[in-house]
A = this chain, B = another copy of it.
Amino acid sequence: MKIIESVPNFSEGTNQETVNAILNAFRNTRGVRLLDSTYDSNYNRLVATIIGSPKAVEESLLCASDIAIERIDMRNHRGQHPRMGAVDVVPFIPIRDVTMDECVRFSKSYGRRLSQKHNLPVFLYDESARNEKRRDIDFLRRGEFEGLTEALKDKERKPDFGPAVPHPTAGATATGARGIMVGLNVNLSTPDLQIAKKIAKAIRAKSGGLANIKAMAARIEERNITQLGITNVNFIKTPLYRQLELIRIEAERYNVRIIGSEFCGMVPLDALISVVEYYLKLENFKREQVIDIHIPPD
């Protein structure tokens, strides 16, 4: 059975009615399960996690997008997270019996239909992007909603579907296929942000750390500690234990310890299994040995 995941981001984290209306589009679509949703007024953003058959996921995304575009007016939107549209980003992630190429096709189908219905510019990013530069969502979103009119005049920023002018209230949308990302926040025993930043730099791929790892440092005022926000974009090649052990090693030179960690959102079983395999020195383990995957979901 083909299963894909999507983690759509909508630019509304404050208005409870709009949040519910969007989430209900997922709750009410047969063949789709809403696994997680987070929103807050700080980011003013709603992030939902859904899985299901490709067809059902696409339909529920179109339905939720209609609601978001109808209800959200980006001209009045304020929030700390970069954003360019009411429906900001919609990834398509292969989970079971689906290839990345198929997810590229699903993203193009969704993007084309969304664009046609609302006369909205849509960009294809990551695995669906037309060139290397446009894989990067941050490149496509530069200038955010407010800078869209200008940005769309640049031929490097030409949308993949729809007009080269922003939708007046809904801006533009990015969609594309990508692999599963695992988010892990790691708390450090130091309140010193400079040290946390040095550790983040030491472990992230861009600055010479681990491949597939993005990391940023932040202070957690209420606990007087610092935290590394880490995104692993390929937990198969770069398992979670390696990421944690490298943090431990880099932190040690500052006499800093890892005092806790927390997953952001969903985690694939295989990511957990590789952690258990490492620390228990497990041999010959098969995921089919996990009882729970043989039990139908509630």
Contacts and interface: CB of A to CB of B under 8 A. Distances in A.
Interface of A: 1, 3, 5, 33, 35-36, 51, 95-96, 180, 184, 240-241, 244, 258-263, 265-269, 272-273, 275-276, 279-285, 288-298
A265 B289 contact: yes
Contacts of A294: 33, 35, 51, 297
Name the 4 nearest CB pairs between A and B, nearest first: A269-B292, A279-B279, A275-B276, A260-B283
Given A266-B289, A292-B292, 8 more contacts: A1-B298, A35-B291, A241-B279, A261-B280, A262-B284, A269-B291, A293-B293, A294-B297
Contacts of A272: 272-273, 276, 290
A3 B280 contact: no
A263 B279 contact: no
A240 B292 CA distance: 17
Q: Interface residues of A: mostly helix, strand, loop or mixed?
A: mixed
Given A260-B281, A280-B244, A298-B1, A290 B275 contact: no
13 contacts: A1-B296, A96-B295, A180-B291, A240-B280, A259-B281, A261-B282, A263-B282, A267-B289, A267-B291, A268-B290, A269-B292, A275-B276, A294-B297
Contact of A290 (B3, B240, B269, B283): B269
A279 B35 CA distance: 26
A261 B280 CA distance: 7
Given A275-B275, A285-B263, A292 B280 contact: no
Contacts of A288: 35
A297 B288 CA distance: 10
Contacts of A240: 280
B262 A36 contact: no
Contacts of A5: 291
Given A266-B290, A294-B51, A261 B283 contact: yes
Nearest to A297: B294
Contact of A262 (B258, B269, B279, B282): B282
